[in-house]
Chain A
Amino acid sequence: MDIVALLLTLRLAIVTMLVLVLLALPLSYWLATTRWRGKIFIEAFASLPIVLPPTVLGFYLLVLLGPQTAFGRQMIRLLGHPLAFSFSGLVVGSVLYSLPFAVQPMVAGFAAIDPAMLEAAAVLGSGRWDILRRIMLPLSRSSILVAAVLTFAHTVGEFGVVLMIGGNLPGLTRTLSIALYDQVQDFAYAQANRTALVLLVVSFAALTLLYSQRRKGRLV
């Protein structure tokens, strides 16, 4: 059992989840409330990772973050090292890769709130921020939880993006799913079996938590 890889995977999943919830909340709020028609392009872009092969996303990120582009050179100068083949690079890749799993439940949650309720709050003297804090966030609590669990589970199960952008550096970018691949390549099936089981249990536990909370949420 590759404990180092397990801890790295959990760390990546948790950091990605936190970054994504913070990033997707304002984006989803904007998508759910704006009347700007061009938002369809943003929505399509944010959903791309669902259909795109992870290797395509990883490839573009690798190019973008590398010394071939001005942006990549700027990042290298800023950080002192390339973003690719580092933990931060993995986080950037994971955040993009799981973006739709955070944005879609949140947008659906915000959009499901009865507009009459938001108007009632406005007429009662609430501004946008107050309505968000006291009406929209509490009423979409379960959607935010769904987003958090899905991004966590999705990041745990990530393979292609991590391999492309992170390489396979033990302790640095080698996550469980990649360790599993290596173990199978080495014919270490007993080890691979344990790794696979851990991945299965973590994902199953995350989704069980999700559904248990959903059932509770129905009562409110």
Chain B
Amino acid sequence: MSNLPPSHDTQTAWLSFQLHHAFAGFHLDAQVALHHPWTILFGPSGSGKTTILRTIAGLFTPDSGQISLQHETIFARLKNSPCTANVPPLRRRIGLVTQAPALFPHYTAAQNVGFSLRRLSATERNRKVQALLQIFHVEGLHDHFPSQLSGGQQQRIALARTLAAEPRLLLLDEPFSALDRTSRQEALSGLRQWLQQREVPVLMVTHDLAEAFSASDEVVVLESGSVIAQGKADEVLHIQRAQLLKELGVPSGP
């Protein structure tokens, strides 16, 4: 574990946070600074990944901590005191896509994608929605209601809906885990295509080793609420990798 303790250089980081929270029998105590455009938050179930993402998005208030996004403090709280800074989720401009698409059932696919664009004119909104639907290969589903869509289609609409709001940070909480390979690849390629045109960093949670190794610049390894390593996937995940290879019956090299 070459990068232990993780780098805390918050000067150049686009996102840095330190969070402390005690649940019943669980202690979250994480301090991270992120510099790379695509970071994986890796850890087993119950290690606190989802709580971290929800806290960054503003949906959860921890006991204490601080979050800085692009040098703006969006959350600050000392233990046992009220928050000194706590930007509400609606003004954080952070996109969050979780395992559940949570589409609005009374709106069509296009209306879902355009949900955050009510300030635009109808033509502008349509153009933007149409472009996003095209990126995710779901332009034919424009007028469909969520109940008429498959899980994979719903998840792509949910991604498009999140990107439409032009977030300055994208949080992905295992959004592809429930999808089949084709849907997953279509969703990922659409996402990459969109990211190419913008400099929006991504923090993605996964407990899937293969996902952690693919297309990520940096991996933060979380275990029972604490960061135990941060660095390149092959540097910080070699133990997990060896373990997986052993389980699969493949010799793990030198």
Q: How far is the CB of B99 from chain A (nearest CB, A)?
A: 10
Bound CA span A119–B100, Å: 12
Q: Verify if A125 is at the interface (C-beta below 8 Å from B).
A: yes
Residues of B within 8 A of A139 (CB): 105-106
**9-residue interface stretch from B32-40, B77-85, B86-94, B197-205:** B86-94
Q: Are B102 and A120 in contact (CB under 8 A)?
A: yes
Q: Verify if B57 is at the interface (C-beta below 8 Å from A).
A: yes
Q: Verify if B14 is at the interface (C-beta below 8 Å from A).
A: no
Residue of A nearest to B99 (CB): A116
Bound CA span A119–B116, Å: 13
Mark interface residues in B60-99 (1 if CB within 8 Å of A CB, else 0).
0000000000000000000000000000111111111010
Bound CA span A121–B95, Å: 11
Q: Are A135 and B57 in contact (CB under 8 A)?
A: no
Residues of B within 8 A of A26 (CB): none
Q: Are A116 and B90 in contact (CB under 8 A)?
A: no
Contact for A123 among B96, B104, B105, B106, CB less than 8 A: B96
Residues of B within 8 A of A125 (CB): 90-91, 93, 116, 165
Q: Verify if B47 is at the interface (C-beta below 8 Å from A).
A: no
Residues of A within 8 A of B93 (CB): 125
Q: Are A122 and B105 in contact (CB under 8 A)?
A: no
Q: Verify if A170 is at the interface (C-beta below 8 Å from B).
A: no
Which chain A residues (109-137) contact chain B, with CB distance < 8 Å?
114, 116-117, 119-127, 134-135
Q: Are A116 and B98 in contact (CB under 8 A)?
A: yes
Q: Are A124 and B115 in contact (CB under 8 A)?
A: yes
Q: Verify if A44 is at the interface (C-beta below 8 Å from B).
A: no
Which chain A residues (40-58) contact chain B, with CB distance < 8 Å?
none
Interface band, chain A: 10 to 19
Residues of B within 8 A of A119 (CB): 59, 89, 96, 102
Q: Are B57 and A123 in contact (CB under 8 A)?
A: yes
Q: Are A117 and B89 in contact (CB under 8 A)?
A: no
User: How many A-B pairs with Cβ below 8 Å?
Assistant: 55
Residues of A within 8 A of B92 (CB): 123
Q: How far is the CB of A213 from chain B (nearest CB, A)?
A: 15
Q: Verify if B162 is at the interface (C-beta below 8 Å from A).
A: yes
Bound CA span A134–B105, Å: 12
Bound CA span A134–B58, Å: 21
Q: Are A123 and B94 in contact (CB under 8 A)?
A: yes
Q: Verify if B161 is at the interface (C-beta below 8 Å from A).
A: yes
Q: How far is the CB of B214 from chain A (nearest CB, A)?
A: 26
Which chain B residues (150-188) contact chain A, with CB distance < 8 Å?
158, 161-162, 165
Q: How far is the CB of A59 from chain B (nearest CB, A)?
A: 45
Residues of A within 8 A of B98 (CB): 116
Q: How far is the CB of A1 from chain B (nearest CB, A)?
A: 44
Bound CA span A122–B57, Å: 10
Bound CA span A134–B114, Å: 13
Bound CA span A135–B94, Å: 20
Contact for A135 among B96, B100, B104, B161, CB less than 8 A: B104
Q: Are B102 and A114 in contact (CB under 8 A)?
A: yes
Bound CA span A123–B106, Å: 19
Q: A116-B98, A122-B88, A123-B162 are in contact. List 9 more A-B contacts (CB 8 A).
A: A117-B102, A120-B102, A120-B158, A123-B94, A124-B90, A124-B116, A124-B161, A124-B162, A125-B165
Interface residues of B, Cβ cutoff 8 Å to A: 57-59, 88-96, 98, 100, 102, 104-106, 115-116, 158, 161-162, 165
- List, sorted by A's number, 19 A–B pairs whose CB atoms are closer than 8 Å: A116-B100, A119-B96, A119-B102, A120-B102, A121-B104, A121-B115, A122-B88, A123-B89, A123-B95, A123-B96, A123-B162, A124-B115, A124-B161, A125-B116, A126-B116, A127-B90, A135-B104, A138-B106, A139-B106
9 shortest A-B CB distances, which residue pairs?
A: A116-B102, A124-B116, A120-B102, A122-B89, A125-B90, A123-B96, A138-B106, A117-B102, A125-B116
